[in-house]
Structure 1
Amino acid sequence: MTSSLPAGLRERKKAKTRAAIRDHAMRLFEEQGYAATTVDQIAEAAEVSQSTFFRYFPTKEDVILIDDYDPLIVAAIKAQPPGTPPVRALVNAMREVFLNLGPDEWESERRRQKIYQTVPELRARAMHQTVSAIDMLAAALAEREGLPPDDRKSRVVAGALIGVVLAIVPPGGRDGDFDPADFAEVEAALEMLEHEVKLR
């Protein structure tokens, strides 16, 4: 059944529900531990059904592992002017997304990253997340150049860019924290890569 709400209101309602589920999940993880927290408990705390929970997050792990900012960064990369080098496109996109986050959004991201760092079963999926990030970034870079999504050069460039990001801010952040200072270091490291390797 299709909702009768206007599209914009419908999307805001979905975003609010998603944020509520994640916020209650993180609170429960912090209070009683990740392993001890069940999907039923999260759904009850967020006042949604279990089926609604799974519409937003396929698994309990995904409450922490899914990065809501990745699609925004991809969209910002695609919106960069033609001819913008890959490194500059990524830096510009990250700046557009992260430097517009409000204090509450930074705090939520810090909590997510801290949980990510302290739960072994979440860290075990870091490699899968990294491969997915490379796939997503490579496809965005290839699209900007009018190339197929599996273009080899785009994948190589995407791998180099993701590698730089991980070198500065590993999964879970440094000491379980992530803030604008970390972004500034990532930006400087990417610019170093652009200067030294001349990725075009």
Structure 2
Amino acid sequence: MTSHPAPPPGLRERKKAHTRRTIQEQALRLFLTQGYQNTTVEEIAAAAGVSHMTFFRHFPTKEAVVESDDYDPLIVRLIVERPAGEDSLAALHHALVTGLDAVYASAREALLARTRLIFETPALRARTWDNQYATQLLLTEALRSRTPAESELATRVIAAAGLAAVTSALAAWVESEGSLDLPCLVDEAFRVLRPA
């Protein structure tokens, strides 16, 4: 069966993506200058040149403007594309590093700002468990599709351990004010999961 590449997004989808990106950029700018708690949805919408209703069409809450990203679908796709003989931990590690490299190269400062906000803002930090649990389920499902013989518990533990490794690397990166290399930190964290 021949697979065809997905057609490029149409004008409507590109406009929606541009609006969403603009809202997120302006929100991050305002959060960094005014503080998260001191910034309103109305201020974000005005800075982005949209109505507050347009804001809510793209983000259901103020927290979502920081938390929302396209990383999970990217990582799931990268896991599924890993070589068949690769074990789950290696597949997860390589998929996360490949996805992170793409984000790190194009949006390093935005990633640093978003991650710092999540770690330093109690309202956002409190929601991290729910978001991580949802991501863990997605990663578990992607890993299970590659290695159905592996027990479900083993796959869940690998997904959870991988997320813990990435979260620890992100925390070290934020604490260094971005001076450390995030992809190297992720590699180091995964080496801890699989000592020589």
Task: State TM-score, norm by structure 2.
Answer: 0.82
8 Å contact kept, 1:25–1:42: yes
1:190 paired residue number:
190
Q: What residue identity is the alignment partner of 2:93?
A: V
8 Å contact kept, 1:77–1:141: yes
Compare the two structures and name the one with the higher helix fraction. 2
1:3 paired residue number:
none
Q: What residue identity is the alignment partner of 2:120?
A: T
Q: Does 1:153 align with 2:148?
A: no
Q: Does 1:97 align with 2:99?
A: yes
Q: What residue identity is the alignment partner of 1:155?
A: R
1:139 maps to which of 138, 141, 146: 141
1:11 maps to which of 10, 13, 18: 13
Could you tell me which runs of 5 or more consecutive residues in structure 1 were left unpaired when the two chains were aligned. Answer: 1-5
* Distance (Å, rounded) in 2 between the aligned partners of 1:9 and 1:102: 27
8 Å contact kept, 2:84–2:146: yes
Equivalences for residues 22-171 of structure 1 within 5 A: 22-101=24-103, 105-146=107-148, 151-170=152-171
Which structure has the higher relative contact order (CA within 8 Å, separation 6+)? 1
Which deviates more, 19-28 or 118-127? 118-127
CA change 1:31–1:176 in 2 (3 A) is farther
8 Å contact kept, 2:118–2:124: yes
SS in 2 for 1:99: helix
Deviations 1:53-72 (A, max 9, x none): 22221210011122332221
SS in 2 for 1:61: helix
Q: What residue identity is the alignment partner of 2:186?
A: V
* Distance (Å, rounded) in 2 between the aligned partners of 1:74 and 1:180: 26
The Cα of 1:8 is off from its aligned counterpart by: 4.0
Which deviates more, 119-128 or 158-167? 158-167
8 Å contact kept, 2:165–2:186: yes
* Distance (Å, rounded) in 2 between the aligned partners of 1:10 and 1:146: 39
Q: Give identity over the alignment, percent.
A: 38
CA change 1:103–1:76 in 2 (3 A) is closer
* Distance (Å, rounded) in 2 between the aligned partners of 1:50 and 1:63: 13
The alignment's C-alpha RMSD in Å is 2.7
The Cα of 1:22 is off from its aligned counterpart by: 0.4
The Cα of 1:130 is off from its aligned counterpart by: 2.2
Q: Which runs of 4+ in 1 moved over 6 A?
A: none
Deviations 1:81-130 (A, max 9, x none): 21221121122212222223465500111111122222121112222222
8 Å contact kept, 1:138–1:154: yes
Q: What residue identity is the alignment partner of 1:190?
A: F
